[in-house]
Chains A and B, each alone.
Chain A
Amino acid sequence: MLAAIIPTTTYYLVLASVLFAIGATGLLIRRNPLVMFMCIELMLNAVNLTFVAFAIRFANIDGQTAVFFVMVVAAAEVVVGLGIIISILRRRPGATADDLAELRG
């Protein structure tokens, strides 16, 4: 009986919203800039999942193209963000997001 249930778009959307909420909570809780970056990746992946779910729901490939662009932008964002984190942490080892509240070097 259970095996007959096929997961519909609703299932994927619920999963994606829970994943997005976990990512947002982690971004607010954690203080290590690297882990905050990982939480941003979680949120981006949640959005990608909704894009693909809607792409199959409306039989429109545009959603998958959007995911492709999100992936490219995420890769660029991670590279630049990690570059900034490296140059900050080289100057002050062990800095947390709280220590970086003021922009003075």
Chain B
Amino acid sequence: MELLVFVLSSAMVLGGAIGVVALRNPVHAALSLVLTLFGIAVHFVSLEAHFLAAVQVIVYAGAIVVLFLFVIMLLGVDKAENLQIEPFPVQRWLAGIVGLGLSGMLIASIVRGRDTLAENEPLPASGDDNIRALARNLFTDHVFAFEFTSVLLIVAVAGTVLLTRKTSPDEKAATAEQAARLQASQRQQADQ
């Protein structure tokens, strides 16, 4: 039963991942990203990380992918790209070699060390206890990091608002006028 769940959700994960890389339309790529993220959430459930599975669905599949789709629709880049055009043809081959080599080396090292990984120790926490254990760990050992993430989020929000703000023509004129006035006063000071 566990194996069946593992195989099915792994197929979801890998199929979605290949879809993200191979599909020509960015909207389809975003939707297959949802498939991958749901598969990962299923894996989290079978690994007893119930809280993280819920957060995965809400934050990743809910918020982040919707953000991607918003941007795609907002910019109107939802046209299919032509993947045949390749300005630097060696790059595909090199990328394929890098991907195969990376996964090959990682799998080789995992298989070599599989004796140390053979058995799962039973987690003491399960069900509701998972959230309790996670919260205790987060708010005792990692409380400073937790507080700093709030600073990070504030900075990210402020930075994004600043980055995407359109400066209106009036505002631009006002800034230019201000700069000219500043220059004039500096010149006056220099003359005196």
Binding site for B on A (CB under 8 A): 2-3, 5-15, 17-26, 28-32, 34-35, 37-39, 41-42, 45, 48-49, 52-53, 55-59, 61-62, 64-65, 67-69, 71-80, 82-87, 89-90, 93-94, 98
Q: Count A/B pairs, Cβ under 8 Å.
A: 230
Neighbouring A residues of B103 by C-beta, 8 Å: 17-18, 20-21
**Residue B179 at the chain A interface, CB threshold 8 Å:** no
Which residues from A are CB-within-8-Å of B145?
69
User: Are A83 and B160 closer than 8 Å at their CB atoms?
Assistant: yes
Nearest 10 pairs of A and B residues by beta carbon: A25-B99, A17-B106, A21-B103, A26-B21, A28-B95, A76-B156, A83-B160, A83-B163, A7-B6, A59-B121
Q: Is A15 within 8 A of B10, CB to CB? A: yes
A32 with B26: CB separation less than 8 A: yes
Which of A6, A53, A64, A77 has the most B CB atoms < 10 Å from its CB? A64
> Within 8 Å of chain A (Cβ to Cβ): is B102?
yes
User: Which one, A17, A23, A58, contacts B17 given CB within 8 A?
Assistant: A23
Residues A29 and B4 in contact, CB atoms below 8 Å apart = no
| Chain A proximity mask over B26-67: 1 for CB below 8 Å, otherwise 0 | 100110010011001001101111011001100110011001
Interchain CB contact under 8 A, A3 and B107: no
* 27 contacts across the A-B interface (CB closer than 8 A): A10-B118, A12-B43, A19-B17, A23-B17, A24-B98, A24-B102, A26-B21, A28-B99, A29-B91, A38-B68, A45-B40, A56-B47, A56-B121, A57-B121, A59-B121, A61-B133, A62-B141, A64-B49, A65-B141, A69-B142, A75-B59, A75-B63, A76-B155, A78-B67, A82-B68, A82-B160, A84-B163
Q: Is the CB of A80 within 8 A of B49?
A: no
